């Protein structure tokens, strides 16, 4: 039997795995018959690790040992805004690891983000293996189109740790377009509106039979369904505080219940015009009295809470359409991806913006995994090809003197691609140069994401300007960046696949693989809650009785006249045959606030003086040579001063 | 299966630097935008790294090299502004076959305009004084003012050139 490669959508809140065969792609359901599995990892007291919907149900009992929305943190620096916000809001512990990396501390043990993602990937792998009846070692994993190189690398690391060879890292909207157009011989332009749990992407593609060419992609990695839930959480918490003087946000258990309620309200409003939110015994008052929270929420009020978030997505759409050089009437289709796009509110807004009915024949939760699976199959069996021509979502830059970052490859340039720039030394008899590589849209180096740096030495020592250094920047089809420096005179070379400072080094990955963290992932079983003050977790035998929350894989009931965590919020047991359109959305996310300008304050070097490529004294520097033959003779003042 | 015979692939990778973008895409110089897109799609079918996973390492790297050049060619030619610049370069005699994607001609001219006057207020002021000195024939004062200007903008190529010119005249 030919080897099979699977497609995985590793989502912020939910993940999905699919496989493609001769008859197209199909989603592989988990043990509960559900097409999507919550991207939640729970760490039990006995050392076992639980992944999926059961783990998600556990979050109310054990918020400190249940990790959700880890994708918001993967590939990020500890000092980034996103991590700061997550630290303020997430109930699990986020600590700093080596080189500004992020680690999660659970039950006394530290885990890197790729390790956490690997646990989810491993679960998806095992779902596939169970369904297919044989081992699976190859996969295509989809990531948000707007993911930078650090986030892509970290996802690749996660695959390795999970024992999966990542054949490709595919952009989610591209995967969705593939699922939409594969094998249909279409010739049309489409937009993919992808509002996920934590990120928003828009891609504009031109499909020419078997070729899927991305014309532009834009996104916001700080905007997703989580943010919609946060608005409801804020509303509920503020009202509760005004009424009872108790801040529900400061009680992790109450906060998790708020989150479940907010998420359920969002799903309820996808079906009904009004929902009732009921959280019995949400918290105990100072006098020991148990307080409940009850409130009706109508679609109009919800709209007013989230309207600015929806508008933000269309600002991003404007950008993408402009970059593609198209107007909305050029588009033949609009594909919706991501659970939040089930909201009638969003569908209507999308309809208004694009002036056409969005496609409803693709399941927004499954379309990405199916596209990834189709491409995986096409890689394994070269006779049924599809060609994906993607673009790089972010400009690639090199740090130059003055704290600036010069563009080398503009955003929305097709990949794979390489570009060579010639630099020269800045001082007489300079021995080495430091090359810093960034991604982002700002001329100010610190406002971009630092991908990495390396020192190139070994070129001929000569007077300044006499040395030529060729630096080649490459972005491959996965969107992964590598940089090579070369002295054309001596052919001396130094190269690096830019590895992020916050990621895992090769030795660390090896150590993790040797340690076999992920081997401990268990099949679903009830978990014991955190111990500690304010612990509301029922004993394991009480869990099954579902007096408050059920630890069962959740789906949504067919209709939701009321929302209350007392069963409907987390849901009843699911079985096969339920309508996936209604049932398959399940997400729990941290209440992270959004940043209006994601490019600002992303990166703050520890040493403020360290961000100058051409710093005084022995610090080595490069400047852009004006002698290159290309047009690109733009130079920056290679000054030794800081303004 | 879209790939070429291995010998042809290797040969193509070898001569890649001698091909212009039209030759890389196998498109005529006058090709329309949509014809270029067709050519790009066609070349991508032949050379996309995805379609060649089963090949040997050396062939894969040859294909990757070609694929990157195909992308580059298309990135330049699909943009009318870049295409115009590229066509002018091709018509020139220096044998240029590749164009940097990041066009900074505008920024470069902005910069040279800035350099003409100076990038800092003090640099501009001293340089203007030096220019006035030169037109008056007071090279000693011009020298001092230029040196002052250079303390504010040590890398200003124009200031440096002016200073060198003045010094060589002084000898």
User: What does each C-alpha distance from A522 to A21, A467, A529, A570, A576 come to in angstroms?
Assistant: 29, 58, 17, 22, 22
Q: Which tokens in the block code for residue A532?
A: 């500690």
Confidence label for A432 from pLDDT (cuts 50, 70 and 90): confident
Taking the C-alpha atoms of residue A226 and residue A85, their distance in angstroms, rounded to an integer, is 13
* Number of domains composing chain A: 1
Contacts of B64 in chain A (CB under 8 A): 416, 476
Confidence label for A613 from pLDDT (cuts 50, 70 and 90): very low
Beta-sheet strand order (sheet of A200-208) = A333-337, A187-195, A200-208, A211-220, A387-389
B2 CA: distance to closest CA in chain A (Å)? 9
pLDDT over 70 (residue B108): no
| Entry pTM | 0.76
B33, B51, B68, best to mutate vs chain A, most A CBs in 10 Å = B68
Q: Decide if A581 contacts A363 (C-beta within 8 A).
A: yes
Q: Decide if A437 contacts A498 (C-beta within 8 A).
A: yes
Taking the C-alpha atoms of residue B11 and residue B4, their distance in angstroms, rounded to an integer, is 11
Confidence label for A429 from pLDDT (cuts 50, 70 and 90): confident
Confidence label for A109 from pLDDT (cuts 50, 70 and 90): very high
Lowest mean pLDDT segment, chosen from A127-131, A527-531, B62-66 = A527-531
Taking the C-alpha atoms of residue A508 and residue A76, their distance in angstroms, rounded to an integer, is 17
Stronger pLDDT, A374 or A523, i.e. the higher one? A374
> Closest by alpha carbon to A422, among A497, A483, A486, A475?
A486
Looking at residue A326, its pLDDT comes to 95
- Average pLDDT, integer, range A347-369: 94
Of A123, A157, A172, A508, the catalytic one is: A172
pLDDT over 70 (residue B24): yes
Q: Decide if B153 contacts A639 (C-beta within 8 A).
A: yes
DSSP H or E run through A331: none
Stronger pLDDT, A469 or A505, i.e. the higher one? A469
SS3 A416: coil
Q: Decide if A187 contacts A330 (C-beta within 8 A).
A: no
Contacts of A208 in chain B (CB under 8 A): 37-38, 41
Whether residue A443 is contained in a domain is answered as: yes
> Closest by alpha carbon to A499, among A82, A99, A113?
A99
Contacts of B157 in chain A (CB under 8 A): 626
Q: Which tokens in the block code for residue B146?
A: 């230029």
Hey, which of A17-26, A134-143, A360-369 has the most confident mean pLDDT?
Answer: A134-143
Of A194, A227, A548, A595, the catalytic one is: A194
Q: Decide if A162 contacts A359 (C-beta within 8 A).
A: no
Stronger pLDDT, A434 or A542, i.e. the higher one? A434
Q: Which tokens in the block code for residue A619?
A: 């610090």
Taking the C-alpha atoms of residue A68 and residue A41, their distance in angstroms, rounded to an integer, is 7
Whether residue A294 is contained in a domain is answered as: no
Taking the C-alpha atoms of residue A326 and residue A205, their distance in angstroms, rounded to an integer, is 11
Taking the C-alpha atoms of residue B74 and residue A135, their distance in angstroms, rounded to an integer, is 41
Looking at residue A580, its pLDDT comes to 35
- Sketch the domain layout of chain B as residue ranges: 6-91, 109-170
Q: Do B102 and A210 touch (CB under 8 A)?
A: no
Confidence label for A430 from pLDDT (cuts 50, 70 and 90): confident
Q: Decide if A543 contacts A570 (C-beta within 8 A).
A: no
Is A495 touching B (CB cutoff 8 A)?
A: no
Q: Decide if A206 contacts A215 (C-beta within 8 A).
A: yes
Whether residue A518 is contained in a domain is answered as: no
Looking at residue A503, its pLDDT comes to 61
DSSP H or E run through A516: none
Taking the C-alpha atoms of residue A261 and residue A341, their distance in angstroms, rounded to an integer, is 19
What residues contact residue A428 under an 8 Å CB cut-off, 6+ apart? Answer: A462, A463, A464
Whether residue A468 is contained in a domain is answered as: yes
- Catalytic site residue A71? yes
Is the predicted ipTM greater than 0.90, yes or no?
no
SS3 A604: coil
What residues contact residue A507 under an 8 Å CB cut-off, 6+ apart? Answer: none
A359 CA: distance to closest CA in chain B (Å)? 26
pLDDT, tens only, A222-267: 899 999 999 999 999 999 999 999 999 988 889 999 999 999 999 9
Contacts of B37 in chain A (CB under 8 A): 206, 208, 213
Ramachandran angles phi, psi of A129, nearest 5°: -65, -40
Looking at residue A306, its pLDDT comes to 95
pLDDT over 80 (residue B76): yes
Contacts of A378 in chain B (CB under 8 A): 50
Residues 210 through 269 of chain A touching chain B, CB cutoff 8 Å: 210-211, 213
> How does strand A404-409 pair with strand A417-425?
unpaired
Looking at residue B154, its pLDDT comes to 83
The range of the structural domain enclosing residue A614 comes to 396-505+599-624
Confidence label for A299 from pLDDT (cuts 50, 70 and 90): very high
User: What does each C-alpha distance from A620 to A336, A431, A501, A634, A641 come to in angstroms?
Assistant: 50, 8, 21, 21, 14
- Which one of B94, B100, B154 has the shortest CB-CB distance to A419? B100
What residues contact residue B121 under an 8 Å CB cut-off, 6+ apart? Answer: none
Q: Do A388 and B50 touch (CB under 8 A)?
A: yes
Residues 354 through 413 of chain A touching chain B, CB cutoff 8 Å: 375, 378-379, 382-383, 385, 387-389, 406-410, 413
Looking at residue A548, its pLDDT comes to 31
Q: Residue holding tokens 């800045």?
A: A426
- Which one of A211, A410, A477 has the shortest CB-CB distance to B102? A410
Looking at residue A536, its pLDDT comes to 26
Q: Do B100 and A632 touch (CB under 8 A)?
A: yes
pLDDT over 60 (residue A617): no
Taking the C-alpha atoms of residue A339 and residue A366, their distance in angstroms, rounded to an integer, is 10
Whether residue A183 is contained in a domain is answered as: no
Looking at residue B159, its pLDDT comes to 84
Q: Decide if A583 contacts A34 (C-beta within 8 A).
A: yes
Whether residue A48 is contained in a domain is answered as: no
Contacts of A416 in chain B (CB under 8 A): 49, 64, 67-68, 71
Taking the C-alpha atoms of residue B64 and residue B50, their distance in angstroms, rounded to an integer, is 10
pLDDT over 70 (residue A320): yes
**Percent of chain A surpassing pLDDT 70:** 78
What residues contact residue A510 under an 8 Å CB cut-off, 6+ apart? Answer: none
CATH number belonging to the domain at B6-91, selected among 3.40.50.300, 1.20.210.10, 2.60.40.1220, 1.10.287.110: 1.10.287.110
What is the sign of the dihedral through the CA atoms of B117, B123, B128 and B131? negative
pLDDT over 70 (residue A141): yes
pLDDT over 50 (residue A20): yes
Looking at residue B164, its pLDDT comes to 85
CATH of the domain at A472: 2.60.34.10
Q: Decide if A544 contacts A56 (C-beta within 8 A).
A: no
> What burial class does residue A289 get, using C-beta atoms within 10 Å of its C-beta: 0-12 exposed, 13-18 middle, 19+ buried?
exposed
């Amino acid at each position: 039997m030919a080897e099979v490669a699977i497609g995985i959508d590793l989502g912020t809140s939910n993940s999905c795995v699919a496989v493609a065969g001769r008859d197209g792609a199909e989603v592989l359901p988990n043990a509960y018959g559900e097409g999507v599995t919550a991207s939640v990892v729970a760490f039990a007291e006995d050392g076992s690790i639980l992944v999926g919907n059961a783990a998600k149900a556990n979050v109310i009992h054990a918020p400190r040992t249940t990790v959700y929305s880890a994708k918001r943190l993967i590939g990020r620096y500890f000092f980034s805004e996103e991590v700061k916000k997550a630290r303020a809001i997430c109930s699990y512990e986020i600590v700093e690891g080596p080189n500004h990396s992020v680690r999660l501390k659970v039950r006394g043990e530290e885990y890197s983000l790729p390790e956490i993602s690997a646990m989810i990937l491993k679960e998806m792998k095992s779902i596939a293996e169970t369904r297919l009846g044989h081992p699976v070692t190859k996969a295509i994993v989809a990531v948000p189109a707007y993911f930078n190189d650090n986030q892509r690398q970290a996802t690749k690391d996660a695959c390795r740790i999970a024992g999966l060879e990542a054949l490709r890292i595919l952009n989610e909207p591209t995967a969705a377009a593939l699922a939409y157009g594969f094998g249909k011989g279409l010739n049309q332009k489409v937009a993919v509106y992808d509002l996920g749990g934590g990120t928003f992407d828009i891609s504009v593609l031109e499909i020419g039979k078997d070729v899927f060419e991305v014309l532009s992609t834009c996104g916001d990695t700080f905007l997703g369904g989580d943010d919609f839930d946060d608005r409801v959480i804020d509303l509920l918490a503020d009202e509760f505080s005004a009424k009872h003087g108790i801040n529900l946000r400061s009680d992790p258990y109450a906060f998790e219940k708020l989150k479940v309620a907010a998420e359920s309200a969002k799903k309820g409003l996808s079906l009904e015009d009004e929902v009732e939110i009921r959280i019995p015994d949400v918290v105990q008052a100072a006098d020991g009295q148990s307080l409940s929270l009850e409130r009706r929420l109508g679609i109009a009020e919800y709209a007013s809470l989230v309207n600015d978030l929806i508008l933000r997505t269309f600002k991003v759409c404007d950008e993408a359409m402009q970059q593609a050089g198209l107007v909305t009437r050029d588009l033949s289709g609009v594909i919706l991806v991501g659970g939040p796009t089930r909201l009638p509110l969003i569908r209507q807004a999308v309809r208004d913006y694009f002036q056409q009915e969005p496609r409803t024949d693709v399941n927004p939760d499954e379309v990405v995994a199916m596209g990834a699976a189709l491409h995986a199959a096409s890689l394994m069996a070269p006779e049924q090809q599809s060609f994906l021509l993607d673009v790089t979502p972010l400009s690639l830059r090199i740090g130059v003197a003055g704290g600036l970052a010069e563009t080398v490859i503009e955003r929305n340039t097709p990949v794979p691609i390489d570009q060579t720039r010639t630099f020269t030394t800045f001082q007489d008899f300079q021995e080495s140069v430091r090359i810093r590589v960034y991604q982002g849209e700002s001329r100010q180096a610190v406002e971009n994401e630092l991908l990495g740096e390396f020192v190139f030495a070994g070129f001929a020592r000569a007077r300044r300007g006499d040395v030529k250094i060729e630096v080649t920047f490459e972005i491959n089809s996965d969107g992964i960046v590598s940089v090579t420096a070369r002295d054309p005179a001596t052919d001396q070379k130094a190269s690096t696949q830019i590895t992020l400072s916050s990621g895992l080094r090769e030795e660390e990955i090896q150590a993790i693989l040797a340690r076999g963290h992920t081997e401990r992932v268990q099949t679903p079983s009830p978990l014991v809650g955190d111990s500690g003050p304010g612990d509301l977790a029922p004993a394991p035998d009480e869990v099954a009785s579902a007096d408050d929350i059920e630890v069962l894989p959740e789906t949504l009931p067919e209709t939701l006249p009321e929302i209350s965590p007392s069963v409907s919020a987390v849901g009843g047991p699911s079985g096969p045959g339920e309508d996936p359109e209604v049932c398959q959305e399940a997400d729990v996310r941290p209440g992270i606030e959004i940043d209006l300008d994601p490019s600002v304050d992303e990166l703050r070097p520890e040493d403020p003086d360290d961000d100058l490529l051409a710093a005084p004294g022995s610090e080595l520097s490069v400047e852009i040579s004006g002698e290159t033959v290309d047009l690109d003779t733009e130079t920056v003042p290679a000054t030794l001063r800081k303004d | 299966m879209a790939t070429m015979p291995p010998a042809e692939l290797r040969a193509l990778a070898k001569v890649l630097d001698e091909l212009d973008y039209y030759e890389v895409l196998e498109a005529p110089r006058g090709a329309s935008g949509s014809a270029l897109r067709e050519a790009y799609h066609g070349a991508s079918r032949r050379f996309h790294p995805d379609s060649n996973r089963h090949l040997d390492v050396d062939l894969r790297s040859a294909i990757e090299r070609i694929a990157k050049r195909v992308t580059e060619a298309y990135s330049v030619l699909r943009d009318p502004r870049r295409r115009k610049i590229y066509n002018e370069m091709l018509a020139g005699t220096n044998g240029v076959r590749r164009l940097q994607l990041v066009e900074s001609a505008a920024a470069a001219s902005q910069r040279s305009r800035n350099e003409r006057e100076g990038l800092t207020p003090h640099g501009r002021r001293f340089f203007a004084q030096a220019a006035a000195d030169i037109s008056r024939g007071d090279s000693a004062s011009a020298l001092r003012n230029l040196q002052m200007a250079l303390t504010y903008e040590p890398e200003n190529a124009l200031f440096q050139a002016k200073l060198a010119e003045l010094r060589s005249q002084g000898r």
